[in-house]
Amino acid sequence: MKRRNFIQKASLSTFGVVASASVVACNTDKEKNNVSSIVNSTSVEPIVIATWNVPNATAKAWEVLQNNGSSLDAVEQGCMIEEADVKNSSVGKGGAPDRDGNVTLDACIMDKDGNYGAVMCVQNITHVISLARKVMEETPHVILAGKGAENFGYDLGFKKENLLTESSKKAWEKWKETSDYKPVINIENHDTIGMLAIDHNGDISGACTTSGLSYKMAGRVGDSPIIGSGLFIDNEVGGATATGMGEEVLKTVGSFLIVELMRQGKTPQEACEEAVRRVVKKSGDRYKDFQVGFIALNKKGETGAYCIHEFFNYNVYKLGENKNYESLFYNQI
Ligand code: ASP
């Protein structure tokens, strides 16, 4: 069939109606007015929420906010705490390596204006969250990968380091004895740090940093550095971030989905639940063998979290009922 005929046929049979179409431009001012009614920006107290139990990281982010820092600085500095912690085997230095024994990191950051920066498959630089921020602020690009990202970092003065610690190396050598790659729920070491914060201006930013799945194939990139999947922020609505089996989050663009559901009126909790249901539905029976967890925050400072299986947890730093700021740990079971 000739292409022209095919298109005509498709127009008739697939889409039913063939109409002469003209493109109607959006009325920008009207659209903006609609948006501001969603925002309804009342004064909101600062808040930090992060995947997993990372009280030191949320406390650091909170300290930044308390000193009138921006939500962007808060999430960056919060994530840096975990990146530097060699005991955290799924983020930064001390992260589990890939099958070849190389630690490769992914990270992204998104600000209140919708700017975004990400790095992926970076070796030898601990603070990839800061490198992602540099991509966002100092390049015309959004993502840098591999050697290009690393060299960009070295040019900026980022330290070159060996990220494979003795204990990660030992665990990898043990794993190599069988090289069994069948992630087990919650044991495949996915403790990606996704963090969302609102500052004193009511602005939301988010960050996400990870070494990805332990013993992944060389070159594998998960959801964490991908806009809309591992993280998404829309300062008019809220933000969301993910942890768990990146391949599944990628296929449902989970964080973007949650933000859009909140835009349509769902609470962060409802939106997280809907996104998890979507992941489960799309996976057939496979969901039984993987974990995915989301956290979300809206413009009003409301939070939500949901996961497929038990043992996902998250940490919130916010103003408590007694008017003291407190670090709350939620175990999702
Ligand atoms: N989502 C991460 C990835 O797939 C893993 C994690 O959450 O730790 O790379």
Same domain, 31 and 79: no
Whole-angstrom CA distances from 59 to 55, 79, 84, 181 are 6, 11, 15, 35
Same domain, 181 and 76: yes
Burial 83-111 (b: 16+ CB within 10 A, else e): bebbebbbbbbbbbbbbeeebbbbbbbbb
Flag whether 242 is in a domain: yes
Return the best residue to mutate from 90, 91, 243, 248 for the ligand 1 pocket (most ligand atoms within 8 A of CB): 243
Q: How far away, in angstroms, is 274 Cα from ligand 1 center?
A: 20
What confidence tens digit (pLDDT) does each residue in 97-146 have? 999 999 999 999 999 999 999 999 999 999 999 999 999 999 999 999 99
Tell me how many domains the chain contains: 2
Query: Catalytic residue at 241?
Result: no
Same domain, 74 and 3: no
Flag whether 165 is in a domain: no
Q: How confident is the model at residue 41 (pLDDT cuts 50, 70, 90)?
A: very low
Same domain, 243 and 279: yes
Q: Which of 51, 126, 192, 252 is catalytic?
A: 192
Look at residues 170, 305, 110, 129 and name the one whose alpha carbon lies nearest to residue 119: 129
Same domain, 271 and 316: yes
Is any atom of ligand 1 closer than 6 Å to the C-beta of 90?
yes
Is any atom of ligand 1 closer than 6 Å to the C-beta of 89?
no
Alpha-carbon distance of 265 to 164, in angstroms, equals: 45
**pLDDT of amino acid 311:** 79
Q: Are 43 and 202 a contacting pair, CB within 8 Å?
A: yes
Same domain, 182 and 242: yes
Same domain, 227 and 304: yes
Flag whether 200 is in a domain: yes
Same domain, 282 and 313: yes
Residue 257, Ramachandran bin (φ over 0: left; ψ between -120 and 50: alpha; else beta): alpha
Look at residues 114, 106, 112 and name the one whose alpha carbon lies nearest to residue 144: 106
Flag whether 100 is in a domain: no
Q: Are 81 and 53 a contacting pair, CB within 8 Å?
A: no
CATH number of the domain at 60, please. Answer: 3.60.20.30
Same domain, 273 and 192: yes
Flag whether 215 is in a domain: yes
In terms of residue numbers, what domain contains 256? 44-91+105-116+177-329
Q: Are 50 and 58 a contacting pair, CB within 8 Å?
A: yes
Alpha-carbon distance of 68 to 53, in angstroms, equals: 25
The 10 Å Cβ neighbour count of residue 313 is 18
Q: How far away, in angstroms, is 22 Cα from ligand 1 center?
A: 44
Q: How confident is the model at residue 28 (pLDDT cuts 50, 70, 90)?
A: low
Is any atom of ligand 1 closer than 6 Å to the C-beta of 213?
yes
Look at residues 196, 265, 271 and name the one whose alpha carbon lies nearest to residue 235: 196
What confidence tens digit (pLDDT) does each residue in 56-82 have? 999 999 999 999 999 999 999 999 999
Same domain, 298 and 229: yes
Flag whether 181 is in a domain: yes
What confidence tens digit (pLDDT) does each residue in 212-237 have? 998 999 999 999 999 999 999 999 99
Asked if residue 264 has pLDDT above 80, the reply is yes
Same domain, 4 and 75: no
- Mean pLDDT of the chain, nearest integer: 85
Same domain, 4 and 70: no
Flag whether 162 is in a domain: no
What confidence tens digit (pLDDT) does each residue in 153-206 have? 999 999 999 999 999 999 999 988 887 766 555 445 557 999 999 999 999 999
